[in-house]
Amino acid sequence: MGTAVKSNAKRICGLVVLLVSLCSIARLPFLPFSGRIDVMLPEKEGIQDIFSFLKDVQVSDKVLVTLSMRDGSSDSDLLCAAAQQYVAQLDTKLAYPMNTGFQQGEIVQDFKHLVQQLPEYTEAGELEEISALTSYSGISTSLSNLVKRLRTPEGMFSGSAARSDPLDWNGRLVKKILGMLTSFGYRAVPVQGRLMDPEHKNLLLVLQTPIAMMDAPGVRALVAHLESCAKALPSAVEAKLVCAHLHTLGNETIIRRDITVTSIAVVLVFCILFFGVYRDWRSGYVVLIPFLASLPALALSALVFNGFSALVVGFGSTIAGITIDYAVHAYVVSRTEHREINLKRIRLPVCLSALTTLSVFIAFCFSSIPAYRQLGCFAAIAILVSLVYALIGLPYFIPVAKKNVSSVGPLDETVSRHLFSPRIAWLVVGGSVVAFALGFLCLRYLKFDGNVSKLDGTPAAVIAEEQRAITLWGGGESHSAILSVEAPTEEAALRLNDELYVALLKAGLAAREVSSLSPLFPSEATRQQRRKQWTSYWSPERVLAFQENVRKASAEMEFSDDAFSSFWPLFDTWRGEEAKASEPIRFLQPLCERFIHVNQKVWVTTFVADDPHVLEIAGRVKKDIPSLKIVSRQAFSKQLSSAFADEIKFVTKLAGVFIILVTVLWIRRPGMIALALLPAIAGVLWGCAAMVFFGRSLDVSNLIAGIMVLGLCIDYGICMVFAYRDGIQEEVFQAVTLCAVTTVLGAGVLLLAKHPALFSIGVTLVAGVSAGYLCAWLTLRAVYSLNRKEAKDAQRPQ
């Protein structure tokens, strides 16, 4: 190739890469990136639905602020003053206080409405109790209790209530409502119009925010604002936050930090290795190639999908890093004396390596997990572009080294040029067998955890504060199963919810086992039905008998003649048949908002224990209420785990088939194929087995890392096998070593990552790539040493 032609080709190559990169960069701002986590879930029946449902019923627009004395003491006055100050500082565009207090007048009005609705809260079964209560003995007991209550200190301030409700029917209703409310197990009590814990050591503020959980800039602004409000509080008071937004911020911060640290470390490692070992500034091109390949890969793959996951971009960019290996091979041989011949020799193994890696990512494109499909497409394009850049473009930019390249390599020349002695070879083979056996043994102790929350890198302090807040303010439904009924309107959904509640109780569950809105907020139809039942129960004869019993019993106990003057008009109201809608009880509204969810349709939730017996009962009830959705968190977790396991098996099998097809069709020699695959098997085996030593389960992120290990190690195997065949093992070994060392050092930094997913990736990569490399270096060499004759034949260039 003449110098002028080479120079022109170099210019054209440079121009093409520049144009492709610029076009891709120009496209980036228009790419539809999203931070949705559900793209990580398999598109299998039920899973996406349940996940969306869980997401919809969660509260992501609330911020809970717990104000406490720093010294743990109790000072309700100071805490209330601090709460007032905190609220006054809030920027309402970011957060505003939820109405946890009510106007006194409103409450009085609410209670009037509630008392008038007594028949609507009286179930058919309770009419029997009414019958007993309105008998002569029932009335005598009620009045006797009233007298006793009025004598006690508790009754000192309840004279007025007794006058309007001498039989304590309203009191019973209020107690019933309160009993149901307090049965939810929450500990907040009212103090000076605020919510505090019973010990008055902590004060709870509930804020609402229009900032969406996934709106990262908005979340940053919100949290910064709330922190600034907290800083302005008296020094004795601290404010701690609990909100879903902290998970977003925590993940973002930790990933940003980990990626920054990793990137700096990787660049440093590359710089030290390339510039330190080769002392050639052009080795920087090698580092550039994966980055340059990622740009068109991202732009092109984003065209295929409607939305592209930001999470995939993060993982994809890391995966694209493995394509540096092609550039390393091209760089190393381009510096040799016989570069043209050597470049031709490495084309086949490097292309085959790329094809096998490509096979893995093409297998990803058939996954039922959208993120994996995106990842497969992105990585496949990145691999192809990298290959083209490395084999066609890069050599134009790398001149032949002035010194013999092998003399500048970091490795012992003697070892790399000579095969092992038979004794050492057998020792290495024996050691390899032991290592494989040990790896397989470790797999027996390995578990798979399909919980996607493993991808949650929320800082421990945030989780600890959530736990503290749950302990402090109560609530324990994190382990509850959710039952949900769905209907086009709220009234229809509430009617179904009433049916569900009745059915659950009828099926054997106790009322305390069912956290339902039904007893507190029945549907209008149920209310009307109960009112009718009430009215029909109170026949004129019953009314007369009741009045006579009251007159007789009260006279005996020396009640005055007009003792019941406030009660009888109310009793008449209860028996009215007007079919008007019930007046809303405003203090129940916040509770309704938590149980009723509107999103095109309306669904009402109920919480029950997440145990097989209760779920079996719910399953039976579902036969009568087809729209009932049963969401068991435990079952969902198992379903996810199983789906991920199936996915791993599917992708692995498919990738295996593709790899075998590619290697068999290309290499066609069974011995070479087996040896080429050996490092990949070792890498994947130890990539997984290493997790046992860290006491961790395999998770979704290990799948991605495992695939990277497979792709990298199979490359080492293929390259070394071809190197032995073509007699260029010295150059190829040097390149493979460089690839492995850079990958292990780069991935090693991930072991310092705080994010659990990145840490898992680090463990799998470091252990897997190290095992694969050692296998390619030592085991393959030992096998070739033992088959010296064949190896010697294979060393001759073809």
Per-residue binding string, other proteins, 192-231, x by CB under 8 A, is xx-x--xx----x-x-------------------------
Instruction: At 241, give phi and psi (nearest 5°).
Output: -105, 150
Sequence-distant (6+) residues with CB within 8 A of 141 are: none
| DSSP summary character for residue 419 | P
The amino acid that residue 11 corresponds to is: R
Q: Which of 630, 14, 41 is nearest to 292 (CA)?
A: 14
| Between 177 and 704, CB nearer to other proteins | 177
| Between 57 and 221, CB nearer to other proteins | 57
Q: Which member of 55, 256, 532, 649 binds other proteins (CB under 8 A)?
A: 55
At 9, list the tokens.
């080709």
Residue 242 interacts with other proteins (CB under 8 A): yes or no: yes
Nearest-approach distance from CB 58 to other proteins, in angstroms: 4
| Between 269 and 553, CB nearer to other proteins | 553
Q: Which member of 67, 173, 188, 713 binds other proteins (CB under 8 A)?
A: 188
Q: Which member of 33, 96, 136, 186 binds other proteins (CB under 8 A)?
A: 186
Residues 417-456 close enough to bind other proteins by CB under 8 A: 452-453, 456
Stretch that binds other proteins, among 325-333, 463-471, 527-535, 764-772 (CB under 8 A): 463-471
Q: Which member of 18, 124, 178, 437 binds other proteins (CB under 8 A)?
A: 178
Residues 586-645 close enough to bind other proteins by CB under 8 A: 586-588, 590-591, 593-594, 633
Nearest-approach distance from CB 108 to other proteins, in angstroms: 5
Residues 502-521 close enough to bind other proteins by CB under 8 A: none
Sequence-distant (6+) residues with CB within 8 A of 611 are: none
| Between 105 and 695, CB nearer to other proteins | 105
| Between 230 and 675, CB nearer to other proteins | 230
Nearest-approach distance from CB 554 to other proteins, in angstroms: 9
Nearest-approach distance from CB 591 to other proteins, in angstroms: 4
Stretch that binds other proteins, among 171-179, 345-353, 525-533, 725-733 (CB under 8 A): 171-179
Sequence-distant (6+) residues with CB within 8 A of 208 are: 61, 62, 63, 95, 96, 97, 98
At 437, list the tokens.
């056996």
Quick check: 477 and 607 in contact, CB under 8 A?
Answer: yes
Per-residue binding string, other proteins, 302-331, x by CB under 8 A, is ------------------------------
Residue tagged 């991808």 (tokens): 455
Using a CB cutoff of 8 Å and minimum separation of 24, what contacts does 68-72 make? Answer: 68/201, 68/202, 68/203, 68/237, 68/238, 68/240, 69/201, 69/236, 69/237, 69/238, 70/235, 70/236, 70/237, 70/238, 71/236, 72/201
* Cα atoms in the Cβ-side hemisphere of radius 13 Å centred on 184: 21
Q: Which member of 12, 15, 19, 54 binds other proteins (CB under 8 A)?
A: 54
Q: How many residues appear in the chain?
A: 798
Residues 478-497 close enough to bind other proteins by CB under 8 A: 478
| DSSP summary character for residue 393 | I
Nearest-approach distance from CB 59 to other proteins, in angstroms: 4
Beta bridge partners of 241: 65
| Between 148 and 788, CB nearer to other proteins | 148
Nearest-approach distance from CB 200 to other proteins, in angstroms: 10
Residue 59 interacts with other proteins (CB under 8 A): yes or no: yes
Stretch that binds other proteins, among 238-246, 438-446, 524-532, 731-739 (CB under 8 A): 238-246
Rounded Cα–Cα distance for residues 90 and 21 (Å): 46
Residue 177 interacts with other proteins (CB under 8 A): yes or no: yes
Rounded Cα–Cα distance for residues 711 and 270 (Å): 20
DSSP sequence for 474-495 = B--GGGEEEEEEEESSHHHHHH
Q: Which of 473, 163, 366, 321 is nearest to 155 (CA)?
A: 163
Residue 159 interacts with other proteins (CB under 8 A): yes or no: yes
